[in-house]
Structures are given as structure tokens and as C-alpha cells.
């Protein structure tokens, strides 16, 4: 009864259970303060919850467009960045989807779900993008996905390599889910490259992972195409209200980003030998410590394939990072490297 393609998917494996310290999903460790939530409640009071949300999410698109000084015609909003990725694999003409592993798994997931062939162009040894190799293998590409900063490696990709890919004229989704932590973004290139789509999310720096809101910035033609195929009401009125409120308080986001970066570097200094530099809110570590940490009540992401034996650790609150550091020191001691 069930399609074999569907059967071939592994369930998305999240570690369930009541662990004390969750550092596995790259969430923001800080919830919004009550005064910001109060502003959301005020917005809610004015909303008609019996009515469907605006079909093309205009209230949220206008708020995001104002934030960047763009037109709403350059902004598309989705139920998380994930929903938009699901649509972006289908939007463009061409044969295959290009990905650059090790990278975010959702590009492959949605390509496979749609039955599109995949072309994998691995990142270099140091996890930088090989723009020439991607361009070479994109002659018949529908779309090319590049994450910068990349998940799970944490590094920003060099601008010249990204430009080399953009110069092919093929549609490029530049996934900047962690751009606020890198302090660098290439979103302005959408004016120069109509084939560029810059994907962003409210789940990480803005701390709204539970609300489900993502967006992309692109040329009008791409945005218009997206709204032809998107589920009309996937972005609810409460989500749009929450987005409007957090965008009114960028200083709060920036303060938290600064704190997370400070903590990230504190952890990195302690385990420099085993830790890669990061431009995001997580660290890639060459430590096979997933099981050890789990026993200490700390959940991190266990990696596989080329990153077998590595973990991805989200930067948490200070006390959580203190416990992580303590546990990792014990791990190294137990392994005889302490």
C-alpha cells in the first residue's frame, strides 16, 4: 500500500526523553523575555483567529521587507525555512539538485521525496566550497544548495567561491540560517543576481524555533513563482504577529547573539585541538563523545559518514556550557587524552 520511496526514508531521528541539557538542535538557548511576549499577547488581542491568514503572508513580508529596506515583492515567508526548501527544489527548470556534503540534510530529503536526481559535490578537506567543481557539475541543474555558515561544519563559505557558482546563472539557494552569528551576509547580491535566493530563518538568532517562521529574499520572479505552489495558509496569523514583534527589537537579538558567540569561543578555547572554528551558534568537534555525554544528561548531535566520530554541539546557556566543558574534560580523561 505504501510507496517504496516513502518506505525508503529513515524517520528523522531526534533523541527523545527528558534530558537536562539539549544542545542538539542549534536552538537559541534563551527564550524571549516576558515583556516581548506581552507585546505578542497585545497583537493577539487584535487578531481575528476565526479568519484564515493572508494568502501571501503580506503582514510578515512587509515587516521583513522594512527590516532590509526591500520591497515585499522580494520576500517570501514559510512555515519555517524547511517548508521553503521543500518548495525551492521544485521551482526551477532542470534535471538534478546539487548539494555540497557534509551539509544540511533537508535539501537531500526534499529532492529525494520529489524523485529528483541528486548530484553531490563534496566540500574540500577544510570544508570550503569548491565553486569551480560545483559550476562544472551544474550544467543541467534545477537548483544548487549552498549553506553559509554551513551546518554541521560551522564555517562561512568564501565569497569568491559563491560568486563563481552564481556566475553559472543556475538557481542558487544560499542558506544563511546562521548569518546573524557570522556578522556577514550576501543578501545584497540578490539585486545583481536574479538566480540567487537567500534563505533565512527566525528559528536560530531570533529564538523562534517553536513558532515556525522562515523566509527568503530573492528577485520578484522567484517570489512570485513560490506563491504559485505554496500551501496558501501555511503561515498562521500568530506566527506573523510573532515575527512582527521580534523584528521591532533587533537589539535584543544582537545582544543574545553576542553572548552566544562569547560562550562559543570560551568552549572552543578549552578544546581547540578537537574543535573547528565556527561562524555559527554551534561547534563541530572531533570527539566521539555522544554516548558519554548522553549518560551525563547532555544531548548533542552525533554525526555520520565523512564526519563519523564527530559531534555537533549547540552553544547553550552559561551553566549548560559549564556542564558540557566538565563532561568533555572527563571524557578526554577517560579516553586517556586528558
Ligand X SMILES: *Cc1c(COP(=O)(O)O)cnc(C)c1O
Number of residues that bind ligand X (CB under 6 A): 14
| Residue that has been written with the C-alpha cell 521591532 in this structure | 248
332 binds ligand X (CB under 6 A): no
Q: Which is nearer to ligand X, 245 or 327 (CB)?
A: 245
The count of C-alpha atoms lying within 13 angstroms of the C-alpha of 223, restricted to the half-sphere facing its C-beta, is 23
Q: To which H or E segment does residue 283 belong? A: strand 282-285
What does the block give as the cell for 180? 546573524
Residue from 26, 57, 148, 157 in contact with ligand X (CB under 6 A): 26
Cβ atoms of 102 and 304 closer than 8 Å: no
Q: Exposed, middle or buried: residue 289 (CB in 10 Å: 0-12, 13-18, 19+)?
A: buried
Residue from 15, 133, 209, 247 in contact with ligand X (CB under 6 A): 209
What does the block give as the cell for 301? 548531535
Closest approach of Cβ 152 to ligand X, in Å? 8
Instruction: Give the Cα separation of 200 and 227 in Å (integer).
Output: 17
Judged by CB under 6 A, the chain residues 161 through 180 that form the site for ligand X are: 175, 177
What does the block give as the cell for 313? 554541539
Instruction: Give the Cα separation of 120 and 1 in Å (integer).
Output: 31
81 binds ligand X (CB under 6 A): yes
151 binds ligand X (CB under 6 A): yes
Q: Which is nearer to ligand X, 155 or 203 (CB)?
A: 203
Q: Which stretch binds ligand X (CB under 6 A): 32-40, 199-207, 218-226, 286-294?
A: 199-207
What does the block give as the cell for 134? 560545483
Residue from 92, 104, 145, 216 in contact with ligand X (CB under 6 A): 104
Q: Which residue is nearest to ligand X (CB)?
A: 80
Closest approach of Cβ 261 to ligand X, in Å? 17
Cβ atoms of 247 and 64 closer than 8 Å: yes
Q: Which residues bind ligand X (CB under 6 A)?
A: 26, 80-82, 104, 147, 151, 175, 177, 201, 203-204, 209, 214
Amino acid at each position: 500500500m505504501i510507496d517504496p520511496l516513502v518506505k525508503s526514508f529513515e524517520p528523522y531521528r531526534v533523541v527523545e526523553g527528558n534530558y537536562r541539557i539539549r544542545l542538539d538542535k542549534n536552538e537559541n538557548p534563551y527564550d524571549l523575555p516576558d515583556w516581548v511576549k506581552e507585546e505578542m499577547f497585545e497583537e493577539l488581542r487584535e487578531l481575528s483567529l476565526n479568519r484564515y491568514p493572508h494568502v501571501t503572508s503580506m503582514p510578515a513580508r512587509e515587516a521583513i521587507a522594512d527590516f532590509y529596506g526591500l520591497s515585499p515583492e522580494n520576500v517570501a515567508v514559510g512555515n519555517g525555512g524547511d517548508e521553503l526548501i521543500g518548495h525551492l527544489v521544485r521551482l526551477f527548470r532542470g534535471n538534478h539538485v546539487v548539494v555540497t556534503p557534509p551539509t544540511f540534510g533537508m535539501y537531500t530529503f526534499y529532492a529525494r521525496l520529489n524523485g529528483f536526481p541528486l548530484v553531490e559535490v563534496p566540500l574540500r578537506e577544510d570544508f570550503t566550497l569548491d565553486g569551480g567543481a560545483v559550476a562544472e557539475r551544474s550544467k543541467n541543474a534545477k537548483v544548487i544548495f549552498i549553506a553559509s555558515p554551513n551546518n554541521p561544519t560551522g564555517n562561512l563559505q568564501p565569497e569568491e567561491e559563491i560568486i563563481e557558482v552564481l556566475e553559472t546563472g543556475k538557481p542558487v539557494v544560499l542558506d544563511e540560517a546562521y548569518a546573524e552569528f557570522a556578522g556577514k551576509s550576501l543578501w545584497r547580491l540578490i539585486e545583481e543576481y536574479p538566480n540567487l535566493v537567500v534563505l533565512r530563518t527566525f528559528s536560530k538568532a531570533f529564538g523562534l524555533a517553536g513558532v515556525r517562521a522562515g523566509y527568503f529574499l530573492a528577485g520578484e520572479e522567484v517570489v512570485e513563482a513560490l506563491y504559485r505552489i505554496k500551501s496558501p495558509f501555511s503561515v498562521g496569523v500568530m506566527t506573523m504577529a510573532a515575527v512582527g514583534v521580534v523584528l521591532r527589537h533587533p537589539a535584543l537579538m544582537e545582544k543574545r547573539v553576542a553572548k552566544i558567540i562569547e560562550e562559543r569561543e570560551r568552549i572552543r578555547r578549552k578544546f581547540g585541538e578537537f574543535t573547528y572554528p565556527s561562524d555559527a551558534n554551534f561547534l563541530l568537534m572531533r570527539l566521539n563523545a555522544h554516548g558519554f555525554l548522553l549518560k551525563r544528561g547532555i544531548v548533542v548531535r552525533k554525526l555520520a559518514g565523512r564526519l563519523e566520530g564527530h559531534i555537533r554541539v549547540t552553544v547553550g546557556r552559561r551553566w549548560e556550557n559549564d556542564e558540557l566543558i566538565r563532561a568533555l574534560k572527563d571524557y578526554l580523561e577517560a579516553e586517556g587524552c586528558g
